[in-house]
Amino acid sequence: MPKRNLRIVKRVRNVPVLGICEYCNAQFSGDPNMGNAQSAIQEQFNAHKCKPEDARQVAARIVREAKQD
């Protein structure tokens, strides 16, 4: 497993509402009105799989396909 960190990048009234994975930049959002936004973000972070290489390849393919036609 790659080393990865969850970074909270946005808070509303001291409640985390947006976090990102520092390793692959995946984003995780929580609802500040739910009361458990932090744990919701943490759960999404724990569940996601870091695939920065694949993400780059997918992005490159999308750009390639968009240039065709």
Binding site for Zn ion (CB under 5 A): 21, 23-24, 26, 50
In angstroms, give the least distance from the CB of 25 to Zn ion.
Answer: 7
Which residue's Cβ has the minimum distance to Zn ion?
21
Q: Which is nearer to Zn ion, 24 or 38 (CB)?
A: 24
Q: Which is nearer to Zn ion, 22 or 35 (CB)?
A: 22
In angstroms, give the least distance from the CB of 28 to Zn ion.
Answer: 9
Which tokens hold the place of 34? 């739910």
**Residue among 17, 10, 48, 8 at smallest CA distance from 35:** 17
Q: Which is nearer to Zn ion, 18 or 50 (CB)?
A: 50
Q: What is the dihedral of CA 50, 56, 62, 63, to 10 degrees?
A: 150
